Amino acid sequence: MEPYGSPQWPDPHPPPPSPPPRPPIKHSSIAAILFLFGVLGLVCAGAYFSGELQQFWAGGATQSQGPRPGLVPFGQRQDPVPGLEEADAPLGTPAPLQRTSTSYKFLAVKEDGTPLAYSPCRPIHYVVNSDLAPASWQPLVEEAIRQASLASGLQFIYDGPTSEVPTNNRDGYQPEVYGDRWAPVLIAWTTPEQVPRLTGQTVGLGGSSSIGLSNGYKAYVTGTVSLDAPQFAGIMDSPQGKDVGVAVIMHELGHLLGLDHVNDPRQLMFDEASWVRQYAAGDRTGLAKLGTGPCSKDF
């Protein structure tokens, strides 16, 4: 026996004779093979980083789809990540109506007959440019916001001051200014030189921008309230100036949330200055409908 081995018995099936040795590979052939492997490596690397190779290993090519906002790197998106602050249910409910009225009108109505509105399941953020505002502007805005929120059930959050000025084509998404979300509502005291539509007797303007999704859903995402600073100053210097000032802002917030003018002088949304200082039955009926729209995590 061999050490640590088994006895060497004769092999009944001896191995076939070894083939004659191959001639050595020439250096030029080795270089060609290495070059071919290098090219294949570059092709595979490009396919991997483009996603084609990953799709192959995952089970074949997939149908290309447009990138969702949340999958595109921040700074390259045109919309914020969808569903920010969106709850599963409305954040509030409209105040009970003491009396309903048909004296209201919506600025826009969707195909299903419901009004275009803000989602009641996320707060409406707002900022204020008070550079040209009267010294007592803050309690006026706070009271007007409180009344609009009470009537609609929509919740507002004040994000502080801003230097942004109203423009005709305000961007709804300004990540470099307000971060990765829809821009907050802008409330600003301005002049007819900055906002030509304020020329004449128009004291304020209000309105919102909407987004439409491929599934047909539409909703407001931000807006602007522009107030004529010189005319507003004159209002504040008049008797009952504070009450009139609040009513002016409430009127424009009605437009912001989706109400149009009406021909009924008993409503705050009447298209001319009147003695009305609070939301009336028609205004409240319309605002209550605007505050009970659907939730959506898709925008």
What are 96-136's pLDDT values in tens digits?
999 999 999 999 999 888 999 999 999 999 999 999 999 99
The answer to whether residue 152 sits within a structural domain is yes
CA 101 from centre of chain: 33
The residues with which 187 forms a beta bridge, in sequence order, are: 128, 225
Looking at the chain, the number of H-run helices and the number of E-run strands are: 7, 5
Reported as half-sphere exposure (CB side, CA atoms, 13 A), residue 218 has a value of 16
Neighbours of 171 (CB within 10 A): 13
Do 148 and 246 have their domain in common? yes
- Name which residue leads in pLDDT, 284 or 9: 284
Residue 4 has pLDDT above 90, yes or no: no
Do 180 and 54 have their domain in common? no
The answer to whether residue 69 sits within a structural domain is no
Do 32 and 161 have their domain in common? no
Do 140 and 256 have their domain in common? yes
The answer to whether residue 159 sits within a structural domain is yes
The mean per-residue pLDDT over the stretch 14-23 comes to: 51
The domain boundary, picked from 15, 42, 58, lies at: 58
* Distance separating the N- and C-terminal Cα atoms of the chain: 83
The answer to whether residue 111 sits within a structural domain is no
Which pLDDT band, with edges at 50, 70 and 90, does 77 fall under?
low
The domain boundary, picked from 18, 38, 58, lies at: 58
Do 129 and 246 have their domain in common? yes
Domain count, the chain: 2
The answer to whether the CB of 188 falls within 8 A of the CB of 166 is yes
The residues with which 164 forms a beta bridge, in sequence order, are: none
Residue 21 is classified by DSSP as P
Do 47 and 186 have their domain in common? no
The answer to whether the CB of 138 falls within 8 A of the CB of 105 is no
The domain boundary, picked from 58, 73, 106, lies at: 58
The answer to whether the CB of 270 falls within 8 A of the CB of 263 is yes
- Provide the CATH number for the domain around residue 203: 3.40.390.10
Structure tokens at 16: 């076939």
Helical H segments across the chain, by residue range: 27-50, 52-58, 137-152, 175-178, 229-236, 241-257, 281-290
Do 50 and 197 have their domain in common? no
The mean per-residue pLDDT over the stretch 51-57 comes to: 34
Do 141 and 239 have their domain in common? yes
58-62, 73-77, 260-264: lowest mean pLDDT where? 58-62
Which pLDDT band, with edges at 50, 70 and 90, does 50 fall under?
very low
Do 166 and 50 have their domain in common? no
pLDDT digits (tens, 9 = 90+) for 177-194: 999 999 999 999 999 999
Q: Distance (Å, rounded) from C-alpha 243 to C-alpha 276?
A: 10
Those residues whose C-beta lies under 8 Å from the C-beta of residue 206, and which sit 6 or more positions away, are 223, 224, 225, 226, 251, 252, 253, 254, 255, 256
Do 280 and 148 have their domain in common? yes
Do 154 and 34 have their domain in common? no
What integer pLDDT is reported at residue 279 of this predicted model? 98
The answer to whether residue 246 sits within a structural domain is yes
Give the residue numbers spanning the domain of 34. Answer: 28-58
Collapsed DSSP state (helix, strand, coil) of residue 225: strand
pLDDT digits (tens, 9 = 90+) for 204-241: 999 999 988 877 789 999 999 999 999 999 999 998 99
- Name which residue leads in pLDDT, 61 or 82: 82
To the nearest 10°, report the CA torsion of 191, 193, 197, 200: 70
Do 49 and 180 have their domain in common? no
The answer to whether residue 44 sits within a structural domain is yes
The answer to whether residue 110 sits within a structural domain is no
Q: Distance (Å, rounded) from C-alpha 42 to C-alpha 32?
A: 16
The answer to whether the CB of 201 falls within 8 A of the CB of 230 is no
Of the candidates 84, 83, 77, the one whose C-alpha atom is nearest the C-alpha of residue 176 is 77
What integer pLDDT is reported at residue 216 of this predicted model? 76
Residue 147 has pLDDT above 50, yes or no: yes
The answer to whether residue 114 sits within a structural domain is no
56-65, 166-175, 234-243, 290-299: lowest mean pLDDT where? 56-65
